[in-house]
Structure 1
Amino acid sequence: MMQLMKPTVTWEKEYRAFLEDWRESGETIVPEVVGDTYEPLAAYFSEQEAKESEVSPGRVTHSTYWMVDGQRIVGALNFRHDLTENLKLYGGHIGYGIRPSERKKGYATIGLRLALEEARKRGLDQVLLTCGVDNLASRRVIVANGGQEIEPTVRNGRETCRFIIPLGE
């Protein structure tokens, strides 16, 4: 059964395997925050904890989670507690990515559902999510979790779809 888990140094070996899976695919790691690795790696884990309570000006607090199934990190998720004007247009509250070797197994849909529970715990009444117009898989995940499409935005000629997910009972 999949669950969300905060990054922890005790999972370093599996985390490195997760990163290697992305590197081998040639894709950019999503969400970006899980690809910001440091040596020693323990610095990465302590920085993730700090970002939940303190950030530099112009940034928002956020929580990073691994999507874990058994003893395997199958994906990662970043939940932004608030939104800047830029995030309202191009980033939203939640970003997620599934490890390339674990796609098409329903992990993104489950992970987003679990993230919505975290948003409810923080008292949000709705969340905003975005994805590229050509990202059909992400669109399906968002809609499956109650996403209602709102007006898109365009930056540098690229359209970004935007969705609101109400968090009422």
Structure 2
Amino acid sequence: MAFLSAPSEDYQSSYLEALQEYRVEGRGREPSPEEVAANFDTFVQHLHNQADRTKIKPRQVPTSEFWLIDGNNYLGRIFLRHELDKELLQKGGHIGYTIRPSRRKQGYGKLILKYGLVQAKAFGFERVLLTCDEDNHSSRTIIESNGGILENTIQVREWPAMVCRYWIHL
């Protein structure tokens, strides 16, 4: 049974495999598996530190990250941003998530968002904003199946796709 976990060194091998999958997929925003592997404990601590305003850069918002785990296998991650700035209000929202490529289309996207909404409620949120590209039908389906109500679709400066903005009441 899959569950959410705080980032942990216990899942290093599986996490690094997922980073390699993202690399093959062509995602440029993911850190390199080699860089992360060299100092995995430091990397994990950095992820934990992102939730603490005193340990992040100015203009960043505090963010809690959770990993979806099944057995000892890393399946994906979800980010819960504690607040929104001007940019996140347009694109990014309170919650972002990703499932590793080899585990997509198996229901894990819906599950990770469901679990993430439980975390958001525990953090005291009454509603959360999620965004996705208009042509990302999988993400739109995941958000809508978890109660997402489309507020609008906007063009964000310097972003190639139209962005759908959804609110979920908790």
Normalised by the length of structure 2, the TM-score is: 0.89
Task: Quote the residue 2:169 is aligned against.
Answer: 166
Task: Quote the residue 1:89 is aligned against.
Answer: 90
8 Å Cα contact 1:3/1:69 also seen in 2: yes
8 Å Cα contact 1:33/1:78 also seen in 2: no
How many angstroms apart in 2 are the aligned matches of 1:47 and 1:99?
A: 21
CA shift for structure 1 position 25: 2.6
How many angstroms apart in 2 are the aligned matches of 1:38 and 1:102?
A: 22
8 Å Cα contact 2:16/2:37 also seen in 1: no
Task: Quote the residue 1:57 is aligned against.
Answer: 58
How many angstroms apart in 1 are the aligned matches of 2:64 and 2:163?
A: 23
- 1:24-68 Cα deviation digits (max 9, x unpaired): 233446xx5898837312111111111111222211111111111
Task: Quote the residue 2:26 is aligned against.
Answer: 26
User: Alpha carbons of 1:33 and 1:7: their partners in 2 closer, same or farther (altered >3 Å)?
Assistant: farther
- Greater Cα shift, 33-42 or 86-95: 33-42
Q: Which amino acid aligns with 1:158?
A: A
How many angstroms apart in 2 are the aligned matches of 1:140 and 1:88?
A: 21
Task: Quote the residue 2:69 is aligned against.
Answer: 68
How many angstroms apart in 2 are the aligned matches of 1:135 and 1:142?
A: 11
User: Alpha carbons of 1:38 and 1:154: their partners in 2 closer, same or farther (altered >3 Å)?
Assistant: farther
Matched, 1:44 2:43: yes
User: Alpha carbons of 1:122 and 1:33: their partners in 2 closer, same or farther (altered >3 Å)?
Assistant: farther
- Name the SS of the counterpart of 1:67 in structure 2: strand
Structure 2: give runs of 5+ residues left out of the alignment: none
- Greater Cα shift, 97-106 or 16-25: 16-25
Task: Quote the residue 1:11 is aligned against.
Answer: 11
Identity %: 33
CA shift for structure 1 position 132: 0.2
Q: Which amino acid aligns with 1:4?
A: L
Normalised by the length of structure 1, the TM-score is: 0.90
Within a 5 Å distance, the mapping from 1:114-153 to structure 2 comes to 114-153=115-154
CA shift for structure 1 position 153: 1.8
CA shift for structure 1 position 103: 0.7
Q: Which amino acid aligns with 2:11?
A: W
Aligned length: 165
8 Å Cα contact 1:34/1:76 also seen in 2: no
Structure 1: give runs of 5+ residues left out of the alignment: none
CA shift for structure 1 position 75: 1.0
- Name the SS of the counterpart of 1:17 in structure 2: helix
Superposition CA RMSD, Å: 2.0
How many angstroms apart in 1 are the aligned matches of 2:153 and 2:118?
A: 25
